[in-house]
Amino acid sequence: MTKRFYVTTPIYYVNGAPHIGHAYTSIAADVLARFKRLDGYDVFFLTGTDEHGQKVEAAARTAGLETQTYTDKISQDFRDMSDAMGVSYDQWIRTTEQRHKESCQALWKRIEATGDIYLGHYEGWYSVRDEAFYDEGELTTNAAGAKIAPTGAPVEWVKEPSYFFRLSAWQDRLLKLYEENPDFIAPSSRKSEVLSFVKGGLHDLSVSRTTFNWGIPVPDAPGHVMYVWLDALTNYITAAGFPDPAAEKWSYWPADAHFVGKDIIRFHAVYWPAFLMSAGIEPPKRISSHGWWVVDGEKMSKSLGNVVEPRALAKTFGLDQIRYFLLREKPFGADGSLNHQAIISRMNVELANDLGNLAQRSLSLIARNCEGKLPGKGPATAEDTALLDAAYALPDLVRAAMDRQTFHEALEDIWKVIRSANAYIDHQAPWALRKTDTVRMAAVLRVLADTIRAVATLLQPFMPDSIGRMLDQLGVAPDQRTFAALAVPLEDGTPLPAPQGVFPRYVEPA
């Protein structure tokens, strides 16, 4: 049976327009989804929008639109953004869909039946911006003397009847889950953070609200809507067909990786597995969290006017260039700063010079000196073997890095081979061999073509369009681009199309 792989992005709040931070989570998940498909997995890649809660309701009011009309509009904008950024999701979920309401209510009933939900009264701090409850001890005071959440978000005192989830009873079972599944939370810095939070003792969690209506009704409890995070997290099983155990997609559960920003790790690594285990459902296998992007060193904010629109950025620099930059510039788990100079430098040095020139030089020499046909292999020298061995070692190296979500390391492994190939071409100087030893020239060009093919095959998930064109120029048929296909040599004499540069240098508009 084909191996399955289920990967998700967070579902995005529809309280404002999509920005580069949202695009980043989706592109990272997309790269992994594409990688797994090329590696022979049957992939289910889910993304969508989180449409309930006070924050969304307030945004609709500000926009002067009926809430559903407003969420339809913003959800579509997120979907357009995802399409524009090449996010190859298999399903787009919206929490306002009927199937999701049924799924949330079914999950609620299961948890309630175990005794883990009880009716009480909530009195405490709530942040609408974070849609999160905070303990007094977690708060600080801002310059104006107001209490704020650790995220800097304003908080308000709320007092209302509420259903609670008995999270306090789950401490030991959560700690056991982390211990038995050392890869459950990545990276390790986040894991320590979660462990200390859980070890510090867990309070029961308020899971319903009565002061607004924009949510999923709690079954048999008029006036109560579900806490938006219980509703939102459930999307991951709704999409897999919950509560129908016979659903075609249910076999993908448990998810292999939930991609999340560091700000929402607690919801995914603590609340979500507790809800699921309480309902007798297997928890996901991994929560992979990433750091935040700031812009020119500043946090993105509407008031600073520095919010980066992903489609605009792709228009300026190219989509594949932006996808590459986002995954290359900083380690996945760390924070990073986005600025145009850094993008241009990656484009010109790594894409145009290192990779683009390597392909263009090699392919033009083949076009001019081998009648535009892929030359056959010659007797291998030590240098040939060293380069090809490094290229063929890449799938295993890159696979291991992708499984850790260390995308920048995967790219660095690939770039080591690209740099070696550039050193090889300079040293072998096939342009000089043309006059002295055409047989050796052909052999050198074949080594280069094979190396570029291996590199390009692995780079497809990062830059699907540009690399697709590079593989066209190498004469690799579209159905021969999987990692397994690398084991089958390209056919000698394959006619190659006229080479065309794939990665142009960025030139500042005059």
494: how many CB neighbours lie within 10 A of its CB? 15
Q: Is 332 in the site for ligand MSP (CB under 6 A)?
A: no
Stretch that binds ligand MSP, among 21-29, 84-92, 198-206, 495-503 (CB under 6 A): 21-29
Q: Which residues of 201-219 are buried (b: 16+ CB within 10 A; e: fewer)?
A: ebebbbbbbbeeebbbbbe
Q: Is 148 in the site for ligand MSP (CB under 6 A)?
A: no
Stretch that binds ligand MSP, among 11-19, 170-178, 211-219, 277-285 (CB under 6 A): 11-19
Residue 261 or 376: which CB sits closer to ligand MSP? 261
Question: Which of 6, 12, 165, 424 is close enough to bind ligand MSP by CB under 6 A?
Answer: 12
Rounded to a whole number of angstroms, the minimum distance from the CB of residue 209 to ligand MSP is 16
Question: Which of 6, 7, 21, 283 is close enough to bind ligand MSP by CB under 6 A?
Answer: 21
Residue 235 or 473: which CB sits closer to ligand MSP? 235
Question: Which of 7, 11, 38, 496 is close enough to bind ligand MSP by CB under 6 A?
Answer: 11
Residue 264 or 402: which CB sits closer to ligand MSP? 264
Residue 335 or 412: which CB sits closer to ligand MSP? 335
What part of residues 217-256 is at the interface with ligand MSP (CB under 6 A)?
232-233, 235
Stretch that binds ligand MSP, among 149-157, 167-175, 258-266, 359-367 (CB under 6 A): 258-266
Rounded to a whole number of angstroms, the minimum distance from the CB of residue 21 to ligand MSP is 2
Stretch that binds ligand MSP, among 16-24, 103-111, 241-249, 277-285 (CB under 6 A): 16-24
Rounded CA-CA distance 395/483 in Å is 7
Q: Is 22 in the site for ligand MSP (CB under 6 A)?
A: yes
Rounded to a whole number of angstroms, the minimum distance from the CB of residue 152 to ligand MSP is 13
Q: Containing H/E element for 76?
A: helix 67-84
377: how many CB neighbours lie within 10 A of its CB? 15
Rounded to a whole number of angstroms, the minimum distance from the CB of residue 51 to ligand MSP is 9
Q: 337 vs 20, 51, 300, 340, 480, CA distance in Å?
A: 12, 29, 10, 10, 37
What part of residues 287-316 is at the interface with ligand MSP (CB under 6 A)?
292-293, 300
Rounded to a whole number of angstroms, the minimum distance from the CB of residue 177 to ligand MSP is 19
Q: Containing H/E element for 26?
A: helix 20-38
Rounded to a whole number of angstroms, the minimum distance from the CB of residue 81 to ligand MSP is 12
Q: Is 45 in the site for ligand MSP (CB under 6 A)?
A: no
Question: Which of 263, 354, 383, 403 is close enough to bind ligand MSP by CB under 6 A?
Answer: 263
Nearest residue to ligand MSP, scored by beta-carbon proximity: 261
Contact 466, 502 (CB under 8 A): yes
Strands (E), 130-194: 132-134, 140-141, 147-148, 156-165, 185-186
360: how many CB neighbours lie within 10 A of its CB? 18
Rounded to a whole number of angstroms, the minimum distance from the CB of residue 8 to ligand MSP is 8
Q: Is 24 in the site for ligand MSP (CB under 6 A)?
A: yes
User: In 279-406, where does DSSP find H-type helix?
Assistant: 310-317, 319-328, 340-345, 357-369, 382-403
The count of residues interacting with ligand MSP (CB under 6 A) is 19
Rounded to a whole number of angstroms, the minimum distance from the CB of residue 115 to ligand MSP is 25
Residue 232 or 269: which CB sits closer to ligand MSP? 232
Rounded to a whole number of angstroms, the minimum distance from the CB of residue 337 to ligand MSP is 11
User: In 251-381, where does DSSP find H-type helix?
Assistant: 265-266, 272-278, 310-317, 319-328, 340-345, 357-369
420: how many CB neighbours lie within 10 A of its CB? 16
User: In 114-233, where does DSSP find H-type helix?
Assistant: 171-180, 188-199, 228-233
Residue 328 or 453: which CB sits closer to ligand MSP? 328
The total number of residues shown for the chain amounts to 510
Token representation of residue 261:
């920003």
Pairing of strands 117-127, 156-165: antiparallel
Q: What are phi and psi of 223, to 5 degrees?
A: 95, -20
Contact 261, 289 (CB under 8 A): yes
Site string for ligand MSP, 64-103 (x = CB under 6 A): ----------------------------------------
Question: Which of 5, 7, 25, 448 is close enough to bind ligand MSP by CB under 6 A?
Answer: 25
Rounded CA-CA distance 282/273 in Å is 8
Residue 331 or 501: which CB sits closer to ligand MSP? 331
Contact 481, 471 (CB under 8 A): yes
What is residue 491's DSSP assignment? Answer: P
Long-range contacts for 268-272 (Cβ within 8 Å, ≥24 apart)? 268/233, 269/184, 269/185, 269/190, 269/194, 270/167, 270/174, 270/194, 270/197, 270/198, 270/202, 271/165, 271/167, 271/205, 271/229, 271/230, 271/233, 272/233
Token representation of residue 83:
């399409």
Rounded to a whole number of angstroms, the minimum distance from the CB of residue 473 to ligand MSP is 35
Question: Which of 124, 217, 261, 331 is close enough to bind ligand MSP by CB under 6 A?
Answer: 261
Rounded to a whole number of angstroms, the minimum distance from the CB of residue 336 to ligand MSP is 9
Residues in contact with ligand MSP by CB under 6 A are 10-13, 21-22, 24-25, 50, 232-233, 235, 260-261, 263-264, 292-293, 300
